[in-house]
Amino acid sequence: MAVLLLAVLLAAPPVAFAAATQQEVEEALTCQCGCGLTVHACNHLQCGSGEPMKKEIRERLAAGEMKEAILETFRARYGEKVLSSPTFRGFNWLAWIIPFAAVAAGGLGLAVAIGRWGARSTTAAPAAPEASGALRERLARELAEFDAE
């Protein structure tokens, strides 16, 4: 069930891709006042950066501009750092893909390893008692200490 749920979930887009809202555009941009927050989250109402940006976004959306065009305008003005997350193009693509690739590679490796261990364990002799490693080590240690005395 849970796997199914997860599959449904992963298939679902993380955000609704309807017409861009003010919030969506504001969240895609970083406030340039140094607060480190998105334009949407920046709450300095007299903020010299966030407030004019919010106003401009409102006006551009009202004029029927698309999200991408608005982001491009800001990017041309402030540079790529104004975007709150890396683009999906060129080198930036690595930012997005590498975490998932790493987890996928790890998962694949793990799956192959478990498959192999599983196959081996069905043919191998019964496993040694669980505490044998610890006991062996304790024996060795105590013998060593005994010898040292």
Shortest Cβ 88–another protein spacing (Å): 11
Report residue 132 as tokens. Answer: 């044998």
**93 near another protein, rule: CB under 8 A:** no
For residues 10 and 64, which CB has a smaller minimum distance to another protein in the complex? 10
For residues 45 and 63, which CB has a smaller minimum distance to another protein in the complex? 45
Q: How far apart, in whole angstroms, are the C-alpha atoms of residue 19 and residue 16?
A: 9
Signed CA dihedral, 129, 134, 137, 138: sign only: negative
User: Residue 48, Cα to own-chain centre: how many angstroms?
Assistant: 31
75 exposure class (CB count in 10 Å sphere: 0-12, 13-18, 19+): middle
**33 near another protein, rule: CB under 8 A:** no
> Beta partners for 29?
83
Q: Using CB under 8 A as the criterion, which residues of the chain lie in contact with another protein when the complex forms?
A: 1-3, 5-6, 8-10, 12, 14, 23, 27-28, 30, 34-38, 41-43, 45-46, 79-86, 91-92, 95-96, 98-100, 102-103, 106-107, 110-111, 113-115, 117-118, 121-122, 127, 130, 132-134, 136-138, 141-142, 145, 148
